[in-house]
Amino acid sequence: MALWNEHHPEVRINLEKVSAVGGAQYAKMHAAVKVGDAPDLAQIEYSVVPSFLLDNSLVDLSAYGGDRYRYRFVGWQWQQSVYGRSVYAIPQDSGPMGLFLRQDLFDAWGIRTPRTWAEYADAARAVREHGAWVETFSATNGNRFAALAWQAGGRWFGTRGDSWTVAIDDAPSLRVADFWSRLVDDELIKTIPDRQNAWYKDIQTSDIVSWLGASWGDALLTGNAPDTAGTWRAASLPQWKRGENAQANWGGSTTAIFTDCTYPRNALAFAVWLNSAPEAVQLLIKGGYGFPSAVSGYTTGDLEGRREFFGGQHYSRIFIEAGKAVDTSWKWGPTVDTLYQRLGDAFLEAIGDGTAFRSVLEEVQGETIEDLRDKGLKVEAGRSSASG
C-alpha cells in the first residue's frame, strides 16, 4: 500500500481493515453496497464473488481491458471470477490443501503418513490408541468440507443456460460425508471448532496431531504453536484412489472493484499491480496471504519463510504440486455464505443427534435451491452440463 503510494503519487490508496471473523467482513460490504458507500476495491474470497455479482456491485473488468492481464495469473484462479464472458475480480492468492502432521509423534507411534483416505482412517484409530486425536471435524467449517468434496470430484454449483444448477448431494460429496460421519461415529476424531482457542490449545499440547489445512496454514501453526517448532511436516492430501493425484483448494481471494468506484481504470491498475508486480507479491507473501495467484515474481524460497518450523522441509513444494492438480471446473454459486451457514447448522444438529452426515447434504441441497429461488433466480437440481 505505502509502496504503491510512493511510486504512484497521482493515485492514492487508503486502506480500511475489516474484521474477517466468520464472514463479518462481507456483512459489512453488503451493507455498504446497499447504502451506496462501498469501498473502491476490496479483498474478497473466490467463493463470495457471485454473491456480490447478484447485487451488481462488482465492476465488469473486461469493459476496462482487464482480460489482457489474464496471462499474469494462474489460469484456473483467473477463471474462478469469470461469469458469462466477463471477468469480475483479479485473483490474489489461493489455498492449495495439504496435510500438516506432527511427524515426531507419527514416527514415535509407528504410524505411516496416510496416502489414501482409508489409511487416514487407520491412522486416526492408531493415533487414538495413544490418547491423541488426528483431527477435528469442525461443523461450522463449511469451506473446508466444500474443499474436500471438491477434491473427491463434487461440483456443487454450475450453470445451464440461464439457470443455476445445485448439486450439493452429488455422489462424490456424499462419499466425503459418509467418510467423516463414520469417523465421528467411531469417536476417532473430535468435533470441536478448529482455529479457535480450544483447538489452538489442542495443537500446543499435542492433543490433536494433524490438520487438513492449506498453504496459508504455515503461518497459523507457527503463530499459535511456536513451542512445537521443528516437529511438523506437510504432506499431500490423502487420495480416494491409491496413486491418483486429486487435490483441493481451501480459501484464496481476489481483489474486486465495486461499482461505486469513481476511477475504475486506476483501481484496476492498482489491483493488477498489487497481485502481480514482483515487489507487491513479495509483500503479500511476507504478510502471510497464501500462495500468490501471479505466475511470476517470486521463488519457492520466498514461500518458505517458516522452514525451521517444518524441520527444514521444503514444504512449499507440497503445496505447489497440489496447486497444479486442483480440478479447475469447480464453480461457486451466489449464496455460498448462506450455504456455509446451513451446512454449519445441519452438521451441528447431526453431530448433536448422532445422525448420518449424508442427510445433512440432502437437507442443505433442498434449502440451497430454495435460497436461490428466494433471490429471484432460476435454479435446477443436478449437475450442470458444463461439468457433467
Partner 1 sequence: MKRPTRTEARNARAAFGFLLPFLAVFLLCFIAPIGYAIYQSLLKVERPAPLGIGGPTNEVWAGLSNYGHALEDERFIHGFGRVLLFGVVQVPVMLVFATALALLLDAASARWVGFFRTAFFLPYGIPGVIASILLCFLYVPGISPLVEIADSAGWQVDFLGRDAVLWSIANIVTWQFTGYNMLVLIAQLKAIPGDLYEAARIDGASAWQIVRHVKLPLIKPALVLTTVFSIIGTLQLFAEPMVLRPLGTSIDSGYTPNLHAYNEAFTSNNQHIAAAEAVLLALVACVLSFGFLKLVGRGPRDGRDGK
Chain residues binding partner 1 by CB under 8 A are 21-23, 26-27, 30-31, 34, 50-51, 53-56, 60, 83-84, 86, 139-140, 159, 161-164, 191-193, 196-198, 201-202, 205, 334-335, 337-338, 341-342, 344-345, 348-349, 351-352, 371, 374-378
Considering the complex, state which of residue 123 and residue 208 has its C-beta at the smaller distance from partner 1.
Answer: 208
**What residues does 326 pair with on adjacent strands?**
247
Is the CB of 22 or the CB of 312 nearer to partner 1?
A: 22
Beta strands in the chain (DSSP E): 41-45, 82-83, 86-87, 89-102, 157-160, 163-166, 210-214, 232-235, 249-257, 291-292, 379-381
Shortest distance (Å) from residue 56 CB to partner 1: 6
Beta-strand pair 249-257/89-102: antiparallel
50 exposure class (CB count in 10 Å sphere: 0-12, 13-18, 19+)? buried
CA-to-CA distance for 383 and 166, rounded, in angstroms?
Answer: 7
Residue 153 vs 344, nearer CB to partner 1: 344
DSSP result, 316-345:
HHHHHHHHHTB-TT-B--TTHHHHHHHHHH
Residues 360, 346 contacting (CB under 8 angstroms): yes
Torsion on CA atoms 172, 175, 180, 185, rounded to nearest 10: 160
Q: C-beta of 212: minimal distance to partner 1 in Å?
A: 18
Cell numbers linked to 171: 455422489
CA distance 227 to 219: 14
Report the first-to-last Cα separation within the chain, whole angstroms: 43
Residues in the chain: 388
- Fill in the DSSP letter of residue 377: -
Tell the smallest beta-carbon distance from residue 61 to partner 1 (Å): 13
Smallest separation, CB 109 to partner 1 (Å): 22
Closest distance between partner 1 and the C-beta of residue 22, in Å?
A: 6
Of the two residues 116 and 359, which places its CB atom closer to partner 1 in the complex? Answer: 359
Considering beta carbons, is residue 43 or 57 the nearer one to partner 1? 57
Taking the least distance from each CB to partner 1, the nearer of 123 and 350 is 350
Q: How far is the CB of 305 from partner 1 (least distance, A)?
A: 28
> How many Å apart are CA 310 and CA 135, to the nearest integer?
19
Shortest distance in whole angstroms from residue 388 CB to partner 1: 18
Q: What are phi and psi of 355, to 5 degrees?
A: -90, 165
Provide the minimum distance between the beta carbon of 83 and partner 1 in the complex, in angstroms, as a whole number. 6
Question: In terms of CB distance, is 3 or 351 closer to partner 1?
Answer: 351
Q: How far is the CB of 28 from partner 1 (least distance, A)?
A: 8
Sign of dihedral through CA atoms 385, 336, 318, 116? negative
| Whether the Cβ atoms of residue 158 and residue 383 lie closer than 8 Å to each other | yes
The nearest distance, CB 345 to partner 1, in angstroms, is 4
**C-alpha dist (Å) from residue 45 to 240, 250, 255, 346, 355:** 27, 10, 8, 23, 32
DSSP-derived letter for residue 11 is: S
